[in-house]
Structure 1
Amino acid sequence: MRAAETTKSVRKPTNLSLDSALLKEAKSLGINVSRSAEAGIAEAVKRHKRQKWLKENAGALASSNAYVDANGLPLAQHRRF
């Protein structure tokens, strides 16, 4: 979301169906519903992309972990901690 915050993004009017009680409460609390919905959607997209990346790269991650388990970390002798 940071990139979207630092650049001017084009907003598109969108119709959403929301729980009416929740919407009423949000408005009574002064919550910007559009921005809150946008933040929630951005978080959902981030989580989805992370899960997709992990699934697509599971083999490479497992291979790398197996290598480290069998051989230790490359250049481990140079670590100071």
Structure 2
Amino acid sequence: MPRAAKLSASPRRATNVTLPEPLLREARSLGVNLSQTCERGLAAAFAASRRQRWLDDNRTAIDSYNEHIAEHGLPLAAFRSF
């Protein structure tokens, strides 16, 4: 099940969020749903953190592969038609 589907099916729990007054005022004047916006923002922040963690964890392998390609070229380059 995709992460977004898991979130939408999860039980909800009320929480307090402290925001700067001008930001809250603008959100209300524009009819922005704060719960949905916070949820999407958190999901995006989590995805970015997971991506960065994966890149950090795999940096050695990525660098090694890039060095290999720079030194030897792409493995199937002879078969490229573009």
- Over the matched positions of the two proteins, sequence identity in percent amounts to 43
Measure, in 1, the Cα distance between the counterparts of 2:5 and 2:26.
26
The residue that corresponds to 2:55 in the other structure is 54
The residue that corresponds to 1:73 in the other structure is 74
The residue that corresponds to 2:4 in the other structure is 4
Tell me the TM-score normalised to structure 2 length.
0.84
Tell me the TM-score normalised to structure 1 length.
0.85
The residue that corresponds to 1:36 in the other structure is 37
SS in 2 for 1:80: coil
* Residue range with higher mean Cα deviation, 14-23 or 34-43: 14-23
Residues 27-74 of structure 1 show CA distances to partners (whole Å, capped at 9, x for unaligned) of 111100111111111111111111111111100000000100111110
Q: CA RMSD in A?
A: 1.8
The residue that corresponds to 1:24 in the other structure is 25
Measure, in 2, the Cα distance between the counterparts of 1:5 and 1:15.
24
Gaps of 5+ in 2: none
Relative contact order, CA 8 A, sep 6+: which one is greater?
Answer: 1
Gaps of 5+ in 1: none
Equivalent residues, number = 80
